[in-house]
Amino acid sequence: MTGRRIRNGNTDEAIAEWLAERLERAFEREGPVTITVPGGSTPFPIIEHLIDRDLPWNRLVVWPNDDRIVPEDHPASNTGKLRQQFEKAGAEVATLTIMEQVPHFALAWVGMGADGHTASLFPNTDPRIDEERSILRLTPDPLPPEAPFDRISLTLPALLDSDEIVVVARGDDKRTVLDAALAGESDLPIARLFGAARQPVTVFT
């Protein structure tokens, strides 16, 4: 992997500023800009800062990395929360369906769980770099108690089909797993993503 950068101790606002700079560069090209973003609790405060920026949001298409198999008005729906934030700024938010064709992403923003999962690619699902599908329906095992639902998720090849990857993985409970993955000392899903990435990767801890 090339172009790896680790950034420690950044606030939500600082990460939002970094993302805004990347989007500004992407918007220099003509046409729509497509990105993928994570769910869970971490991204939404960052997104609140991000959408305050003066950008051509009507040219942005946002794909969730993954979602829980619940209605969009359910509190656990990543897509529903992303719609509430991005659509008020004028961006479009895609809905993950297994039949949908996944585009190339200008930016793949992903998270990481303390067990080393990214998107909904949990260790028990054995995500593959050579997976032929772009979207999978999965069941985490064990089911996270805070979100005990089946999932739909982009695959590793879909996330890797991007110009740049950014990972936000903050918290002491994640640092040991993150460091091992960055060093290539584990075979967890996030380590497989790092190991296969050939584009620039920025990690916020």
Q: How many Cα atoms are found within 13 Å in the side-chain-facing hemisphere of 41?
A: 5
Per-residue pLDDT band at 2 (split at 50, 70, 90): low
Mean pLDDT on 86-115: 95
* pLDDT above 60: residue 27: yes
Range 103-131 average pLDDT:
96
CATH number (domain holding residue 18): 3.40.50.1360
Give 188 or 100, the one with higher predicted confidence.
Answer: 188
Total structural domains within the chain: 1
Cα 93 to Cα 40: distance, rounded to the nearest angstrom: 16
- What pLDDT sits at residue 40? 85
Question: What local confidence, expressed as pLDDT, does residue 62 receive?
Answer: 98
pTM over 0.85: yes
pLDDT in tens, 180-190: 999 999 999 99
Helix 12-26 × helix 43-50 angle, to 10°? 60
Residue-wise pLDDT for 130-185, tens only, equals: 999 999 999 999 998 888 999 999 999 999 999 999 999 988 889 999 999 999 99
**Percent of the chain at pLDDT above 90?**
88
CA-based nearest residue to 152, from 99, 190, 191: 99
pLDDT band at 196; cut points 50, 70, 90: very high
**pLDDT in the model for residue 79:** 96
DSSP secondary structure letter of residue 99: T
* Residue 126 pLDDT > 70: yes
Instruction: Give the β-pairing of 151-154 and 66-68.
Output: antiparallel
Give the mean model confidence (pLDDT) for residues 97-114. 95
Domain limits for position 172: 4-204
What does the pLDDT look like over 28-83, one tens digit per residue? 999 999 999 998 889 999 999 999 999 999 999 999 999 999 999 999 999 999 99
CA dihedral 171, 85, 62, 178 (to 10 degrees): 0
Sign of the four-CA dihedral 86, 61, 76, 158: negative
Tell me what the mean pLDDT of segment 119-135 comes to.
Answer: 96
Q: Distance (Å, rounded) from C-alpha 74 to C-alpha 149?
A: 12
Task: Give, in order, the Cα–Cα distances in Å from 168 to each of 13, 30, 103, 165.
Answer: 13, 28, 22, 10
Res 1: pLDDT: 45
